[in-house]
């Protein structure tokens, strides 16, 4: 009998199916909740707007600030603007990362905020958070900081001191020695291993280029002053240098202000600024003598005094630096060597382009990132090419500066040329920051040697 009465079972069957379906739905929801971390997100993800909050939303330019971002949902990508250069997680160097995956809804990070650029009015930017099809933005405003890490003012102060106290720095002259002692004192005060190397003209063996002396070789030693800041990577060094001698065409009035008091002064500003910043690589600051007679000081150091087992990862050359943007004068950033088909150091070249145009916001008509293809480089970077070091050479206005190698190459004439001290400092500021970014990025990046060639 019972076998013939199946009808009552149908509702029961339906009921059990319903339970199974309900359990399955719950299981899917629970699974989604576990995987997605949020039950609601399963239903809301296509419609609910993403939210991004930045704290603080206003930060001083040229200084380091710790930020906190909060987002409504984790798992998306935070896109950092070039206005921020974040510090690496281990705190030892600045990271050039622009995209960060947020694994949690809040994230704190420390970043160097690019200096404010009031003349261009671009002091507002956005952080963007992207998840799937949706994105959210948060504004960031930079203001004028009061204690920037590196500054055109510091660069200027060094140059004013150098040109007024040691104006006649031709190699072998009294001011060459006195300026060297002053520079060594600065390195020592920053806590660096400092040394003044004495080279004789007759010490030169071989030579890096067939360089004809443009002025007679004076008596006395060629001095090279070095200051070394040790990093955890001590077998690949970064070197920052400028020549502190001058051409001394006129023994009574010349200051060698632009050539190359300027490069020396910027190098000293970096020595001050970088003393407080943890860097991965050992960095050496150098003031070269004997440049005007044919790159003698840098050649002697490169030939004789690179410590055994050390390779020079990167050299930043500063010679006639600072008469440039935002003044209507050209900022040349010459990347070299480039002796083969294609770009010899594509990673470095791309990095310098990005930092110059995106990081600094320099316009392409006044900021010229270019390759150097001639070994007749006429400055100390050429010495480094012979130990396979990629180099960047900052040089400002060349062709229209009328005081090159004349007694009128003075700080006063530099100011006059750009229309006043404020304009000169503005140009110094851009140059100082551009080099700062390159040095920090090279310190953080292990790919700079990529594409290197054996150039001899
Ligand atoms: Zn020079």
Rounded to an integer, the average pLDDT of 154-172 is 95
pLDDT higher than threshold 70 for residue 431: yes
pLDDT higher than threshold 80 for residue 447: no
pLDDT higher than threshold 90 for residue 248: no
Q: CATH 3.40.630.10: which residues of the chain?
A: 152-444
Give yes or no for a contact between 56 and 143, defined as CB atoms under 8 angstroms apart. no
What architecture is domain 152-444? 3-Layer(aba) Sandwich (3.40)
Closest by alpha carbon to 239, among 449, 380, 62, 447? Answer: 380
For residue 246, report the distance from its CA to the centre of ligand 1, in Å. 7
**Average pLDDT, whole number, for the chain?**
85
User: How far apart are the C-alpha atoms of 127 and 52, rounded to whole Å?
Assistant: 9
Pull the structure tokens for residue 266: 């910027």
pLDDT higher than threshold 60 for residue 67: yes
Pull the structure tokens for residue 199: 């080279």
Range in 139-153, 199-213, 357-371 with the lowest mean pLDDT: 199-213
Quote the pLDDT of residue 211: 42
For residue 310, report the distance from its CA to the centre of ligand 1, in Å. 27
pLDDT higher than threshold 60 for residue 11: no
Model confidence over 35-58: pLDDT tens digits? 555 544 445 555 789 999 999 999
Confidence tier at 413 by pLDDT (50, 70, 90): very high
For residue 267, report the distance from its CA to the centre of ligand 1, in Å. 14
Q: Where are the beta strands (DSSP E) in 360-445?
A: 367-371, 391-395
Confidence tier at 205 by pLDDT (50, 70, 90): very low
Closest by alpha carbon to 128, among 148, 102, 152? Answer: 102
Q: CATH 2.60.40.10: which residues of the chain?
A: 52-144
Angle between helices 152-165 and 262-274 (to 10 degrees): 130
Q: Write the CA distances from 46 to 42, 49, 52, 144, integer angstroms.
A: 9, 8, 17, 41
For residue 125, report the distance from its CA to the centre of ligand 1, in Å. 38
Closest by alpha carbon to 324, among 416, 377, 394? Answer: 394
For residue 208, report the distance from its CA to the centre of ligand 1, in Å. 17
Q: Percent of the chain having pLDDT more than 70?
A: 79
Quote the pLDDT of residue 86: 86
For residue 259, report the distance from its CA to the centre of ligand 1, in Å. 5
Q: Residue for token digits 């009574």? A: 252
Closest by alpha carbon to 56, among 121, 105, 113? Answer: 113
For residue 256, report the distance from its CA to the centre of ligand 1, in Å. 9
Q: Of all residues in the chain, what percent are helix, strand and coil, respectively (each to 5)?
A: 30, 25, 45
For 237, other C-beta atoms within 10 Å of its C-beta total: 23
- Homologous superfamily, domain 52-144: Immunoglobulins (2.60.40.10)
Q: Which residues contact 84 (CB under 8 A, 6 or more apart)?
A: 67, 111, 112, 113, 114, 127, 140
For residue 445, report the distance from its CA to the centre of ligand 1, in Å. 29
For residue 28, report the distance from its CA to the centre of ligand 1, in Å. 72
User: How far apart are the C-alpha atoms of 447 and 202, rounded to whole Å?
Assistant: 39
Highest mean pLDDT (candidates 27-31, 38-42, 120-124, 402-406): 402-406
User: How far apart are the C-alpha atoms of 223 and 200, rounded to whole Å?
Assistant: 9
For 436, other C-beta atoms within 10 Å of its C-beta total: 28
For residue 292, report the distance from its CA to the centre of ligand 1, in Å. 7
User: How far apart are the C-alpha atoms of 255 and 410, rounded to whole Å?
Assistant: 5
Residue of higher predicted confidence among 344 and 286: 286
Pull the structure tokens for residue 111: 């970043």
Rounded to an integer, the average pLDDT of 65-92 is 88
For residue 48, report the distance from its CA to the centre of ligand 1, in Å. 61
pLDDT higher than threshold 60 for residue 316: yes
For residue 194, report the distance from its CA to the centre of ligand 1, in Å. 23
pLDDT higher than threshold 70 for residue 227: yes
Highest mean pLDDT (candidates 233-237, 405-409, 440-444): 233-237
For residue 405, report the distance from its CA to the centre of ligand 1, in Å. 9
User: How far apart are the C-alpha atoms of 223 and 198, rounded to whole Å?
Assistant: 5
- Residue 438 main-chain phi, psi, to 5 deg: -65, -45
pLDDT higher than threshold 90 for residue 12: no
Give yes or no for a contact between 224 and 300, defined as CB atoms under 8 angstroms apart. yes
Q: Write the CA distances from 283 to 286, 289, 405, 433, integer angstroms.
A: 10, 19, 31, 17
For residue 211, report the distance from its CA to the centre of ligand 1, in Å. 14
For residue 52, report the distance from its CA to the centre of ligand 1, in Å. 50
For residue 379, report the distance from its CA to the centre of ligand 1, in Å. 6
């Amino acid at each position: 009998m019972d076998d013939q009465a199946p009808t009552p079972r149908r509702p029961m069957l339906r009921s059990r199916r319903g339970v199974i379906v309900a359990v399955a739905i719950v299981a899917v929801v629970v699974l989604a909740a576990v995987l997605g971390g949020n039950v609601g997100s399963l239903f809301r993800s296509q419609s609910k707007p993403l939210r991004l909050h930045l704290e603080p939303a206003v930060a001083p330019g040229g200084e380091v600030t710790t930020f906190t971002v909060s987002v409504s949902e984790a798992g998306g990508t935070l896109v950092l603007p070039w206005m921020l250069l974040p510090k690496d997680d281990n705190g030892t160097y600045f990271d050039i990362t622009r995209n960060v995956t947020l694994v949690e809804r809040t994230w704190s990070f420390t970043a160097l905020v690019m200096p404010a650029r009031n003349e261009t009015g671009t002091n507002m930017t956005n952080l963007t958070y992207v998840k799937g099809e949706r994105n959210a933005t948060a504004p960031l405003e930079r203001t004028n900081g009061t204690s920037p890490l590196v500054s055109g003012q510091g660069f200027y102060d060094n140059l004013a001191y150098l040109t007024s106290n040691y104006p006649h720095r031709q190699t072998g002259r009294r001011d060459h020695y006195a300026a060297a002692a002053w520079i060594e004192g600065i390195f020592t005060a920053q806590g660096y291993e400092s040394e003044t190397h004495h080279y004789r003209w007759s010490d030169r063996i071989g030579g890096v280029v067939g360089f004809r002396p443009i002025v007679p070789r004076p008596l006395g030693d060629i001095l090279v002053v070095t200051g070394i800041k040790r990093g955890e990577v001590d077998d690949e060094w970064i070197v920052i240098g400028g020549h502190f001698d001058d051409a001394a065409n006129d023994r009574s009035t010349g200051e060698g202000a632009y050539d190359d008091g300027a490069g020396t002064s910027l190098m000293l500003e970096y020595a001050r600024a970088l003393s407080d910043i943890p860097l991965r690589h050992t960095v050496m600051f150098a003031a070269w003598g004997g440049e005007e007679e044919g790159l003698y000081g840098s050649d002697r150091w490169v030939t004789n005094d690179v410590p055994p087992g050390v390779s020079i990862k990167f050299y930043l050359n500063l010679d006639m630096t600072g008469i440039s943007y935002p003044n209507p004068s050209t900022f040349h950033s010459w990347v070299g060597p480039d002796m083969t088909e294609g770009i010899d150091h594509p990673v470095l070249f791309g990095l310098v382009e990005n930092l110059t145009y995106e990081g600094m916001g320099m316009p392409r008509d006044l900021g010229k990132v270019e390759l150097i293809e001639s070994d007749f480089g006429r400055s100390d970077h050429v010495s480094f090419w012979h130990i396979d070091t990629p180099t960047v050479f900052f040089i400002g206005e060349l062709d229209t500066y009328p005081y090159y190698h004349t007694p009128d190459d003075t700080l006063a004439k530099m100011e006059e040329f750009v229309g006043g001290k404020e304009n000169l400092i503005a140009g110094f500021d851009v140059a100082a920051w551009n080099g700062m970014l390159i040095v920090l990025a090279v310190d953080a990046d292990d790919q700079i040697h990529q594409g290197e060639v054996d150039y001899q």
